[in-house]
Structure 1
């Protein structure tokens, strides 16, 4: 009798088989859950799992296991297989990609999307476009710099508030030749990923002074994340650095987030659609605050920078007391390079409360703002050896 029972159990096990051959077991439950949500499109997702190269099955499984429900119901097998094959092609070709931990490759190189943008098959095209720029690079640092320096001329997209929408996909931005900071960040992230550089979109829903949102890009090198932008300066150096250093971790609107394909500790707040919760994110505020504190200590000690305060008044004749001040957004440039930005204190704030920048001595800076009639105004100021207060006027 016991032999009969053993035979029945053995047959049952044999007939059940492995539903996901060559896929690591840790994905099996996640795949079952994902495929049940996919409805009729489960056929396409199973096709992708079944027909992709055995070397890439974990990549396909990872994407299906963690993709948003909208993608489970829409994405086709060909789209997924193409994306995965070109991601692994970059990993096999470039030394920096070969050296990546699997966890970083899967979550920061392999994904086909950053936020909620339209899903497009950009990877084969971007692999062809940007491989030529990094082909002779010996290190990931060189590759990052090469993509950063060449992306604008390659895709012909510039920042412009007249773009159709903030969350544009790569080809939407390339068709128009313009994008928001979010669209530019998506473009840059995809370009990095196309050549095996781990990248993600980061940003804040609102700066500490309620000046509005901003998004940028982060790249992973040797175990650390660094920030950069579509218009490059250097890693961990950007006009918004001082603002990022004042972010507030516990305040959803004033914190800094980094996007993630797989679930993380929170979601990425999208200012253009606050109802979306499926874009995963890490709260990375502490890293930016700590980085800026260290930077600020360094430049205060170097003897080459001084504090420059900026105050905005209605007219040159009205600047006697706090009531005469106006709140306005001001950006500061040195030549073509933006050094920072902020919002001046208004009439209800303490007279000692002023927008402040740490600027290098003996250089000329341009302060740019918009007056009450919407006209752009520029004020050139020579910063010398002593702390300075710059007074600007709305009229």
Structure 2
């Protein structure tokens, strides 16, 4: 009898465990437990969303609830989440490029209802109706996404304007105001892509290395790799900002290029407009006075703030894009390609001698260009490249405040199409 009671008890417990989140993979159970606790009084809405999600959409609902920011756990309704899932999975069933996506890409770059800190609009039904007509006759994702890019300004009637109500303006608010800046325009474009099952995410930087500001744009996942595109489209991986992005400092988080992620990555998306905690990773003493004042104010506001927008460091990809564009662009008859490296000593064959420094190129005290030299961890065939005039005298100013480096080199270019320039600090 005791054995029978024990067996029945074990069976009841097993059934209870299995029915806690019916139809949901066990990998989400602990995450869901934690999310429901954080949701407090809104937990019933999340439980309703999970219970009412169709069987083939439950993983998506579990994913969203497991990883959504706490601000959303306490406010989003079941109706909001169910509608979002319904239209995301509708796109997955309808469009072949979405049906072919790996689950991980669909869940993180198609399914999410928001990008960064914008208001949580119910944009999916409207955007599906608006943008599905641009892709229904397209056989591949590239044609589909380019057709949306060419038509979105007219479709949503939103133009660039700094008079918008907020930087991270939500899509429906931007359409109401008919204006947005780069963050809002990128949110519009990314949501348009997601509405028809095209994986998309925001990317951007908190500050360019020339300290002329920041920027946000969109990325799309095409044939297994990420490419960037803008609201005012040129084409994939081409835009005015490539030179600025390509001069990002890989050793300074303020200047990194970030791509946003709904699922936590362990790295905050420091390009977010409401991410004053970026000041915590910035050496303020090295910034220009006006920029330093801005980040000192941000740091004051950052007390107790926890990151909830996550990201990936994609800096190197943009550096590589820029360097490829320099290499592939035609040289004028009087130009050469300079391959620059900064070295601590004359041991030029060892990567250990390489130093990552800012290199400013000047001619007659006028700035020509700048960039960041390769690090110890970079391939020995990797160089900082500049297009320069042949048979011309330049000043190369090498600096690294963290290592108290500040040195100027006089360099005269030759007459060949390429020239290696080694800036050796020990000389």
What residue in structure 2 maps to residue 196 of structure 1?
197
Gaps of 5+ in 1: 308-344, 360-395
For the residues of structure 1 that align with 2:274 and 2:245, how far apart are their CA atoms? Answer: 21
Match of 1:294 among 324, 329, 335: 324
**Quick check: 218-227 or 13-22, which moved more?**
13-22
Instruction: Note if contact 1:192-1:199 (Cα within 8 Å) is conserved in structure 2.
Output: yes
What residue in structure 1 maps to residue 161 of structure 2?
160
Classify the secondary structure of the residue corresponding to 1:258. strand
For the residues of structure 1 that align with 2:54 and 2:225, how far apart are their CA atoms? Answer: 31
Counting only pairs closer than 5 Å after superposition, residues 57-206 of structure 1 correspond to structure 2 as 57-206=58-207
For the residues of structure 1 that align with 2:22 and 2:31, how far apart are their CA atoms? Answer: 15
Match of 1:351 among 317, 342, 365: 365
For the residues of structure 1 that align with 2:177 and 2:11, how far apart are their CA atoms? Answer: 62
- 1:95-153 superposed Cα distances (whole Å, 9 cap, x missing partner): 11111010000000000000000000000100000000111111001001011000000
The number of aligned residues is 320
TM-score normalized by the length of structure 2: 0.71
TM-score normalized by the length of structure 1: 0.77
Classify the secondary structure of the residue corresponding to 2:329. helix
Match of 1:283 among 313, 318, 330: 313
For the residues of structure 2 that align with 1:81 and 1:304, how far apart are their CA atoms? Answer: 62
Instruction: Note if contact 1:213-1:271 (Cα within 8 Å) is conserved in structure 2.
Output: no
Classify the secondary structure of the residue corresponding to 2:220. strand
**Quick check: 70-79 or 50-59, which moved more?**
50-59
Classify the secondary structure of the residue corresponding to 2:107. helix
Instruction: Note if contact 1:267-1:280 (Cα within 8 Å) is conserved in structure 2.
Output: yes
For the residues of structure 1 that align with 2:236 and 2:17, how far apart are their CA atoms? Answer: 52
For the residues of structure 2 that align with 1:96 and 1:304, how far apart are their CA atoms? Answer: 45
For the residues of structure 1 that align with 2:200 and 2:266, how far apart are their CA atoms? Answer: 18
**Quick check: 289-298 or 61-70, which moved more?**
289-298
Residues 1:22 and 2:52 aligned together? no
Instruction: Please state how far the C-alpha of 1:239 moved relative to its aligned partner.
Output: 0.3
What residue in structure 1 maps to residue 232 of structure 2?
231
Given the superposition, is the C-alpha separation of residues 136 and 267 from structure 1 closer, same or farther in structure 2, using an over 3 Å criterion?
Answer: same
Given the superposition, is the C-alpha separation of residues 236 and 16 from structure 1 closer, same or farther in structure 2, using an over 3 Å criterion?
Answer: closer
Given the superposition, is the C-alpha separation of residues 79 and 250 from structure 1 closer, same or farther in structure 2, using an over 3 Å criterion?
Answer: same
What residue in structure 1 maps to residue 380 of structure 2?
none
Given the superposition, is the C-alpha separation of residues 130 and 306 from structure 1 closer, same or farther in structure 2, using an over 3 Å criterion?
Answer: farther
For the residues of structure 1 that align with 2:333 and 2:216, how far apart are their CA atoms? Answer: 30
Classify the secondary structure of the residue corresponding to 1:115. coil
Instruction: Note if contact 2:57-2:85 (Cα within 8 Å) is conserved in structure 1.
Output: yes
Instruction: Note if contact 1:166-1:272 (Cα within 8 Å) is conserved in structure 2.
Output: no
Instruction: Please state how far the C-alpha of 1:11 moved relative to its aligned partner.
Output: 3.2
Instruction: Please state how far the C-alpha of 1:16 moved relative to its aligned partner.
Output: 4.6
Instruction: Note if contact 1:305-1:358 (Cα within 8 Å) is conserved in structure 2.
Output: no
Instruction: Note if contact 1:216-1:227 (Cα within 8 Å) is conserved in structure 2.
Output: yes
Classify the secondary structure of the residue corresponding to 1:167. coil
For the residues of structure 2 that align with 1:180 and 1:213, how far apart are their CA atoms? Answer: 11
- 1:248-277 superposed Cα distances (whole Å, 9 cap, x missing partner): 223121110000000114111224441461
For the residues of structure 1 that align with 2:223 and 2:334, how far apart are their CA atoms? Answer: 31
What residue in structure 1 maps to residue 38 of structure 2?
37
Classify the secondary structure of the residue corresponding to 1:354. strand
Classify the secondary structure of the residue corresponding to 2:311. strand
What residue in structure 2 maps to residue 261 of structure 1?
262
For the residues of structure 1 that align with 2:194 and 2:333, how far apart are their CA atoms? Answer: 38
For the residues of structure 2 that align with 1:273 and 1:12, how far apart are their CA atoms? Answer: 45
Instruction: Note if contact 1:249-1:283 (Cα within 8 Å) is conserved in structure 2.
Output: no
Gaps of 5+ in 2: 277-301, 337-359, 371-385, 389-427
What residue in structure 1 maps to residue 218 of structure 2?
217
**Hey, which bits of structure 1, 4+ residues long, moved more than 6 A?**
304-307, 356-359
